[in-house]
Amino acid sequence: MRLLVLGGTRFLGRAIVDEAIRRGYDVTTFSRGLSGEPRPGAEALHGDRTSSADLARLAERDFDFVIDTSTIAPRHVTASAQLLAPRVGHYTYVSTISVYADYPREPVDEDSAVLDCPADADGTIESLGYGELKAGSERAVAEAFPERHLIARPGLIVGPHETMGRLPWWLTRIARGGAVLAPGDPDRPVRLTDARDLAAWLIDNSRRRIPGIINVPGSEDARFGDLLTTCGEMTRADRHTGLDLRWVRDQVLLDAGIEPWSELPMWAPDIPELAGIWTVSGGRAIRTGFRYRPLTDTVHDTWAWLRLEAAARGTELSNLAVGGPSASGAPPVGLDPAKEEQVLAGLG
């Protein structure tokens, strides 16, 4: 199988390349080369998709399928898809559940209304909006590959090599020990998808040339308390005193000025604006073969990766910076320790 990955050097793209090489596929990546190189075994082509001259490097190549993990303006996705249409059997575009017009306020499924953005739109996340940019890119792929495209709409993706740093932040925070500010209700759902599971499913369904739109919102089995407790077990935090989670009501945290999702990663308080965040329909992904690995496996492997990263960089885990601005343009995650101490001190 000849696979082209548009991207392929960071997080999900890296996981796709790794899985395809493991299966013995002939893998080619096309990226600017700014985030490193794919693992040995993949052919690396360098180019900027916003440049017609660079994109032309793909004009004489044939592939069985392409998986696009990038986040660029719809008009550039249109150019790529139109160029590849005569030479590629199937196009999979990795989008996001943020394309839904009513998300995260309302429950959504694959038939829910999507944000309005044309396939020829130009601009950035800042000028268009993340969800709008992705929605326009979906339309670009659908127009260039009618009946030969899969639109995957994942939710929260975690696992080794995570670039945003949500799960890494909780792991390093809990490993630091002491009283940990835990947001809201420990029984509240949190839906996570391991990038490696998503990569395997994307390859399976691209190879099978499954068409259509499929949400991948994450497993329904986990709770926030499970997540933080598992982080404690994996990091063996406060070996002598045990894991000390201080669960604090949503309103107390909001009144303290703590930002949901960013300062306390994955925290979605019980407010109308986020009422539907964990109620995205995911049955279609299960019916097409998606299998979520246990939460413990994802947390364990992410912690092992973090320790290796710290050793490779010659730094303490507490100083390891793995997050940064995300593809969605969101700011880096994490709560300032002084702010956390201030809120904990105010609890009495």
CB atoms within 10 A of CB 243: 18
Q: What tokens appear for 69 in the block?
A: 């993990």
CA 35 distance to own-chain centroid: 16
Give the pLDDT confidence score for residue 53 in this predicted structure: 94
CA 237 distance to own-chain centroid: 26
Q: Which residues of the chain have pLDDT under 50?
A: 324-328
Q: What tokens appear for 256 in the block?
A: 């303290």
Give the pLDDT confidence score for residue 307 in this predicted structure: 93
Phi, psi at residue 121, to the nearest 5°? -65, 140
> What pTM did the predictor assign?
0.95
Give the pLDDT confidence score for residue 238 in this predicted structure: 52
Phi, psi at residue 147, to the nearest 5°? 65, 5
Q: Name the residue among 347, 329, 292 with its Cα closest to residue 71.
A: 329
CA distance 304 to 307: 5
